[in-house]
Structure 1
Amino acid sequence: MAQVKLGILGAGGIAKVHTAILQQDERVEIIGVADVVAAKAAALAKEIGTAKAVGSLDDLFALGVDAVYVTTPNTLHVQPVLQCLKHNVHVFSEKPMATSLAEAEQIRQAAAASPAIYNLGMNRRFASVYKRVKELLASGEVVPYLAQIKMNRGELLHPAWTSDPQVTGGFLYETPFHLMDLSRYLFGEVRSVLCEARQNLSPSELDTFAITLTFEAGTIATFVTYAHAGWSFPFESLEVYGKYSTIATQELEKVMYAPGLQQAALVHDFFQLPSAEKWGYVEEDRLFIDAIVNGTEPPVTAEDGFRSLRLLEAIYESATTGKKVNLSKTMEGKAAW
């Protein structure tokens, strides 16, 4: 079986998560690691063993890569992705797709025009707890009337770059974006957004958000995300309420399902699973390689990524204008793109 020759662009912490998984896939050979900091590229290449340390994306192309993982900071995703698609090289981009809707549209168009596969890394979709929630909703066992979503973004200011929009794109582009995407994945497209936001800790941006999401299917969700609670437990949670039924998650460790009145709750505890599996990284990497080898659909397409980014920008728009934003009309207006 021919191996997928793979390169890594950006040798930080998330790159190490992916390379540890990909090294276990016999269909993959990691042949290059590129980073602007030569020592970081060299260290990860040595750890992999089969990879050459290089300085740029062009150097990875010169090595003959079939696919590239873009694991650079948020604001540095767009140009490498566009270059990969232009060279017909498959690309897995860590979230977010871009840090503006205009740039996301560039990727959307490039992905549609290229024979190469584009995939956005949204690991929460494949995390054990949320797969269980998805099963309950997709089967119709629970019809979601109301949901509550919470994310403590505990790392703001520590380190300092986490509050620098020039690196992150903005507060919501970091960890909270995962749960915005997850809300669409679980409940469908969002019809409207209303948000109140404040600037409490960050010297440069809004960092406290109270958001109401109304979905096309009728579900209403409240979503709160903020910087000032630290990583207090649970730093991430989801509660879904149906007819006398409740689904509740605690971080990425546990999910409880109460199916009805006077019935025992069912608990799935994933605490002892390896983190890479529990958090969904193993499955999203496998599905990306499946798409390359078997010609199947990538786990998160450019269209999907674009719609989640549109939701994020609608939240910012509502926060700054104080008005409800109707996404249905917005997406209708984009349909001809």
Structure 2
Amino acid sequence: MNKVKVGILGAGHIAAVHAGLLKQDERVEIVGIADIFEEKAQELAAEAGPDVRTAGSIEELIALGVDTVYITTPNTMHVSPVLHCLKNNVNVFSEKPMATSEEEARQIRDAARESRGCYNLGMNRRYAYVYKKIKSYMDSGQLDAYSAHFKMNRGELLHPAWTSDPAKTGGFLYETPFHLMDLCRYYFGEVKKVKCQATQAVSGSELDNFAILLTFESGLVMTFNTFAHSGWSFPFEAIEIYGKYSTASTAELETVKVACGLEGEIDSSDYHLMPVSKKWGYEEENRLFIDALVNGTEPPVNAEEAYKSTFLLTSIYESAKTGEEINVADQLNKVLS
């Protein structure tokens, strides 16, 4: 069997997570690591394998003979290398976000439609064990959701300092909150309307305090609070879902409880002892992506799915800045038609 020949662009923490998982997959050969800082590329290449080479750019990385590239650069540096890969029919696994504007996300979506390369967005929360358990109850019909509340606080934007720089992140919502933006679509389907109130609480450069109301086409109503100024008190990520005489709740990616029926047992799971790469979903999202490449099937989160989650996030920013309720469904249909 021909192995998937992978290159990784960006040699930071998340690149090391992916490299560690990929080198355990017998279907994969890690060919090269690229980073503008040569020392970082060399360090990760040494960890990834004895024959892994280094490069300084996406062009040099592809020239090493890779057929697949993992994009693990900062948020605002995804678009150019992704477009370069797709233009050259190279498969792409891009870390979130897809892009930091609707226009750039549309460019990637359109390029993916034309390319022979496969595009996938890394949305590991879909495969985190706490969220998979809730999804299984929803899929089986045991948990029929009517409403929900999601909460995520980044804690602060001081360490590292670049997290307070929209020029690098694209804005606070493009950081970790984007995961829950995607998760709500994964759980509940498409959003019909969104209304957001946002303030600049402690950040000197961007909105950092969001209260969001989402109404889904199914009729489900959800609130989402996310902020970057409250500290790291546990749980800084949590969701609650409410159905007919049923509830589901999580505390970070560690514990989950599901109660169905007024007199039924509470199904509780605790994943504290499980390795992060597994319980946070990184292991499964990588396996599913390589499955798609080997089998010629759709990747876990293709360009169309990635675009819709990005469109939702940009709509939330639009509402935050204008104070108006945004009809996401109507606007999205106009773009897609």
Between the aligned partners of 2:307 and 2:222, the Cα distance in structure 1 is 21
Post-superposition Cα deviations, 1:127-154, rounded to whole Å, max 9, x if no partner, equal 0011111111112111111100000112
**Structure 2 counterpart of 1:166, one-letter code:** A
Q: CA deviation at 1:238?
A: 0.6
Letter in 1 for 2:106: E
Aligned residue pairs total: 336
Question: What displacement does 1:181 show?
Answer: 0.3
C-alpha distance in 2 between matches for 1:318 and 1:9: 34
- TM-score scaled by structure 1? 0.98
Aligned amino acid, residue 135 of structure 2 = K
Partner residue, 1:264:
265
The answer for unaligned runs of 5 or more in structure 1 is: none
Q: In 1, Cα distance between the equivalents of 2:76 and 2:229?
A: 24
Q: Which moved more, 1:255-264 or 1:243-252?
A: 255-264
Which portions of structure 1, spanning 4 or more consecutive aligned residues, are displaced by more than 4 angstroms? none
Structure 1 pair 155–4 and aligned structure 2 pair: CA distance change class (3 A): farther
The CA RMSD measured in Å over matched residues stands at 0.8
Letter in structure 1 aligned against 2:130: V
Q: What is residue 205 of structure 2 aligned with on the other side? A: 204
Give the aligned partner of residue 66 of structure 1: 67
Amino acid at match of 1:223: F
Which residues of 2 match residues 30-179 of structure 1 at below 5 A? 30-49=30-49, 50-179=51-180
Matches of 2:110 and 2:262 in 1, distance apart? 49
Post-superposition Cα deviations, 1:262-321, rounded to whole Å, max 9, x if no partner, equal 222110222221110000000000111111111111000111111001110111111111
Distance 2:153 2:42 in 1: 34
Q: What residue in structure 1 maps to residue 222 of structure 2?
A: 221
Amino acid aligned to 2:323: G
Structure 1 distance, partners of 2:46, 2:321, is 47
| Mean CA deviation greater in 100-109 or 261-270 | 261-270
3-state SS in 1 of match to 2:284: helix
SS where residue 145 of structure 1 aligns? strand
**Which amino acid counterpart does residue 232 of structure 1 have in structure 2?**
S
Q: Which amino acid aligns with 1:5?
A: K
Tell me whether 120-129 or 150-159 shows the greater mean CA deviation.
150-159
CA distance in 2, matches of 1:244, 1:84: 49
Amino acid at match of 1:101: E
Instruction: Report the equivalent of 1:11.
Output: 11
- TM normalised by structure 2 equals 0.98
For 1:64 and 1:18, locate their aligned partners in 2 and report how far apart those are by CA, in whole Å. Answer: 19
Tell me, yes or no, if the aligned pair for 1:152 and 1:232 is still in contact at 8 Å.
no
- d(CA) in 1 for partners of 2:33 and 2:168? 21
Amino acid at match of 1:320: K
What does the per-residue CA deviation read over 1:43-84, in whole Å, with 9 as the maximum and x for residues that have no partner? 111111231011111111111101000000000000100000
In 2: Cα distance, 1:24 partner to 1:100 partner:
35
Aligned to 1:319: 320
Name the residue aligned to 1:288: 289
- Which amino acid in structure 1 is aligned with residue 28 of structure 2? V
Q: Which amino acid aligns with 1:8?
A: I
Q: What secondary structure is seen at the aligned counterpart in 1 of 2:94?
A: strand
Q: 1:246 corresponds to which residue? A: 247
- Following superposition, the deviation at residue 37 of structure 1 comes to 0.5
- Cα deviation, residue 155, structure 1: 4.2
| CA-CA distance at 1:328 after TM superposition | 1.1
How far apart in 1 are the matches of 2:239 and 2:123?
17
Determine if contact 2:120/2:289 at 8 Å carries over to the other structure: yes
Q: Which runs of 5+ in 2 are unaligned?
A: none
Cα separation, partners in 2 of 1:155 and 1:2, compared to 1, 3 Å: farther
The 1-side partners of 2:153 and 2:231 are apart by 6
Q: 1: CA distance between counterparts of 2:6 and 2:265?
A: 48
Q: State which drifts further: 36-45 or 266-275.
A: 266-275
Distance in 2 separating the partners of 1:309 and 1:335: 14
Contact 1:121/1:300 (<8 A) preserved = yes
Shift of 1:216: 0.6
The residue type equivalent to 2:33 in the other structure is V
Q: d(CA) in 2 for partners of 1:335 and 1:31?
A: 37
The residue type paired with residue 215 of structure 2 is T
Looking at structure 1, the residues matched to 137 and 192 of structure 2 have their Cα atoms a distance apart, in angstroms, of 23
**Contact 1:34 1:57 survives alignment (8 Å):** yes
Task: Using the TM superposition, name which of 106-115 and 137-146 deviates more.
Answer: 137-146
State whether residues 54 and 61 of structure 2, in contact with CA within 8 Å, keep that contact through their aligned partners in structure 1. Answer: no
C-alpha distance in 2, partners of 1:114/1:203? 41
